[in-house]
Amino acid sequence: DAGVTQSPTHLIKTRGQQVTLRCSPKSGHDTVSWYQQALGQGPQFIFQYYEEEERQRGNFPDRFSGHQFPNYSSELNVNALLLGDSALYLCASSLGLAGNNEQFFGPGTRLTVL
Amino acid sequence: ELKVEQNPLFLSMQEGKNYTIYCNYSTTSDRLYWYRQDPGKSLESLFVLLSNGAVKQEGRLMASLDTKARLSTLHITAAVHDLSATYFCAVDETGANNLFFGTGTRLTVIP
């Protein structure tokens, strides 16, 4: 049973560039959430996708956008990268939107912006 | 704005000792989660607490939830080195898996 997978593992970009991160949810899950974890901090919720629509969004600018595909996989896009976007980006999947359905986290993508 | 505070932020303890990590939050949510994170790794789910008075135990770790006090505790019994990690509590404010994480407690167990 495949867990949550993310790609790439590491990524280095320069300021102003754009980046796309990818996530495949755990088998049987249909909801994907994205989190940003800066060094030494707890993860922060970016947004959540269900049925190919953004359902909830955290306090992140419009430079952060996403997409969910019919197979439930998801992408996170960040435009006009800033140094402060350097972080570990975590994808989590769950079944449906109910809060009592546990989220499972992927291994993360480490983004470095130079 | 929802606040989730953990204390202590750093904890160094000897093997065999007991200790408690506290998680205070500012919303009325009754859904609280505990995660473990090893350096450079992702989050591992430890406990899911979904009601007032919920208590769950796994090995040397026990978590509890008091929604009236807006407090969750993670108790460590007879610590071993393998428990060294950062522990996060997270609150689901909206009931739709939008998790708000605390700052984490970095635990180091000294032989």
**Which among B41, B49, B60 has a CA at the least distance from the CA of B90?**
B49
Q: Which domain does B31 fall in, by range?
A: 4-110
The predicted structure's pLDDT at residue A100 = 67
- The two tokens of residue B22 are 């506290």
CA of residue A109 relative to chain centroid, distance: 9
Say which residue the tokens 């406990």 belong to: B47
The CA R_g of chain A, rounded to the nearest whole Å, is 13
**pLDDT band at A99; cut points 50, 70, 90:** low
Q: For A4-37, how does the pLDDT look when each residue is reduced to its tens digit (9 = 90+)?
A: 999 999 999 999 999 999 999 999 999 999 999 9
CA-nearest residue of chain B to A43?
A: B101
Nearest CB to B95; choose among A92, A99, A103: A99
Residue A32: half-sphere exposure toward Cβ, Cα within 13 Å:
32
CB contact under 8 A, B95 and A107: no
Yes or no: domain A5-113 corresponds to CATH 1.10.1050.10: no
Q: Do the chains contact at A90 and B41, CB–CB below 8 Å? A: no
Q: Where are the domains of chain A?
A: 5-113
Report the number of distinct structural domains present in chain B. 1
CATH of the domain at B60: 2.60.40.10
CB contact under 8 A, B97 and A94: yes
User: Among A4-13, A36-45, A82-91, B23-32, whose mean pLDDT is lowest?
Assistant: B23-32
